[in-house]
Chain A
Amino acid sequence: MSIEVIKPGLATTVQDGGRSGHYHLGIPPSGAMDQVSMRSANLLLGNPETAAVLECALMGPELRFHDTLRVATGGAEMVPKIDGVACPNHEVIEVPAGSVLSFDFVRAGARLYLAVEGGFDVPERLGSRSTYALGSLGGLDGRPLQPGDRLKVVSAERCADAGRSLPESLRPVYHKQYELRVVPGIYDHRLTPAARERFYDELWSVGSEADRIGYRFKGGTPLEFIEREPPFGAGDDPSNIVDACYPIGSIQVPSGSEPIVLHRDAVSGGGYAMIGTVISADMDLIGQIQPHQKVRFVPVSLDQALEARGQRSRRLEALRQALG
């Protein structure tokens, strides 16, 4: 069973739950940036929750189906079209053999997840099918899709009936401005008190280069670091530290100018001070923010972060209950 890529979209990659446990060796987790939407598409279709899907950033692909297969979408709103005829999002749809599945332009959100019955079949690397393009690892030949690629599909043990749809209450809601919750630290003492305060006061705009490695933010006032004699091993820039591990979600501000939030394809360490970490519960949301949309960073305590993590787990549990 195969699907042929006619047009790949802008940056379409095979992703799943990711490969955890190798970050200390420099291999990032990768996997769908918006894990909730990826899982929702799979659960809707009756797939294993973390079966490999296509993550389609900002523009959908054009795919020719050589076999009749059921699919479901999650995440960003891009209307799916079968041979040009619009179909609903968040619903199991059957694509007949010989048909072309394409997508209208993105109306809200940034990443659409396309699940296919059984899941996309690429070799597992370190326990995951996810694409880590920077390291040419996983996915289809370690890279985003290209025209002419053939995607294979795992034969499905079961599949939901066409027409099954995600309950309205479990669908994502997108905006043009968001709040991202941040646990401050562990190097924010390197900022001047005024800069620390201003970082959370100002509205930041997502840079157009934002991708799976990191989201860069612009438009705020540059942040001043406290002057100091660089410690042995640290670079000369005031934003430098002695090399340290970078958590996913950590915020670095090279030279104080533009904050970068690391995401699932990030490098695992380096010499920039991290002034805070976006909480795990808000990492899915980052994957749905378009370039040029606005964000305010909101400081929260570790207890609040853990409470939010609990809420996210309950939301996933509600998806499993509704669709299991």
Chain B
Amino acid sequence: MSQLTQQAPFPGVFYRRPSPDSDPFVEPGSSVDVNTTIGLLEVMKQFVEIKAEAAGKVLEVRADDEQVLEAGDDLLVIDTSGEGA
């Protein structure tokens, strides 16, 4: 099984949902492709949509909602082998 661990591209506050009352963008088991938003990263008055870096299935979400992240911290792990996607 090939996996990709996606990391924060810049430092900021990570949001797993588009608004406090919404469902998370992705959960373990979600199918994603390179246009799928996996979360928002907020810094310098900007909320940036973070897209999945590969197509596949989310195995694990490693960053919590509203967690302060440094650039390079893990966001999530994607199974890119295509078996269950």
Contact = CB atoms under 8 A, between A and B. Distances in A.
B9 A291 contact: no
Contacts of B9: 59, 105
A292 B11 contact: yes
Interface stretch (B16-24, B26-34, B37-45, B76-84): B37-45
A10 B10 contact: yes
Given A58-B44, A105-B7, A291-B43, A208 B12 contact: yes
B71 A10 contact: no
B10 A208 contact: no
A72 B9 CA distance: 22
Nearest to A106: B71
Given A58-B43, A291-B43, A208 B72 contact: no
B48 to A, nearest CB: 7
Contacts of B70: 290
A258 interface: no
A10 B47 CA distance: 10
Chain A interface residue number, banded: 10 to 19
A312 B9 CA distance: 32
B12 A291 contact: yes
B10 A58 contact: yes
A107 B11 contact: no
B2 interface: no
B24 to A, nearest CB: 21
A59 B70 CA distance: 12
B13 interface: yes
Contacts of B11: 58, 106, 290-292
B4 to A, nearest CB: 15
B71 A105 contact: yes
A290 B9 CA distance: 14
Contacts of A210: 44
A10 B7 contact: no
Contact of A211 (B8, B12, B44): B44
Contacts of A11: 44, 46
B48 A208 contact: no
Nearest to A57: B44
A209 interface: yes
Contacts of A105: 7-10, 71-72
A192 to B, nearest CB: 31
A10 B72 contact: no
Given A106-B71, A107-B72, A10 B44 contact: yes
Interface string B32-66: 00000000001111101000000000000000000
A10 B8 contact: no
B85 interface: no
B74 to A, nearest CB: 12
A208 B7 CA distance: 19
A10 B49 CA distance: 12
Contacts of B42: 208
Given A10-B48, A208-B13, A291-B11, A107 B71 contact: yes
Nearest to B12: A208
Interface string A282-298: 00000000111000000
24 contacts: A10-B10, A10-B46, A10-B48, A57-B44, A58-B10, A58-B12, A58-B43, A59-B9, A105-B7, A105-B72, A106-B11, A106-B71, A107-B71, A107-B72, A208-B12, A208-B13, A208-B42, A208-B44, A209-B45, A210-B44, A290-B11, A290-B70, A291-B11, A292-B11
Ordered nearest first, which 8 A-B pairs have the shortest CB separation?
Answer: A105-B71, A59-B10, A58-B10, A106-B71, A211-B44, A292-B68, A209-B45, A290-B11
Given A10-B48, A11-B46, 14 more contacts: A10-B43, A10-B44, A58-B10, A58-B43, A58-B71, A105-B10, A106-B11, A208-B12, A208-B43, A210-B44, A211-B44, A290-B11, A291-B12, A292-B11
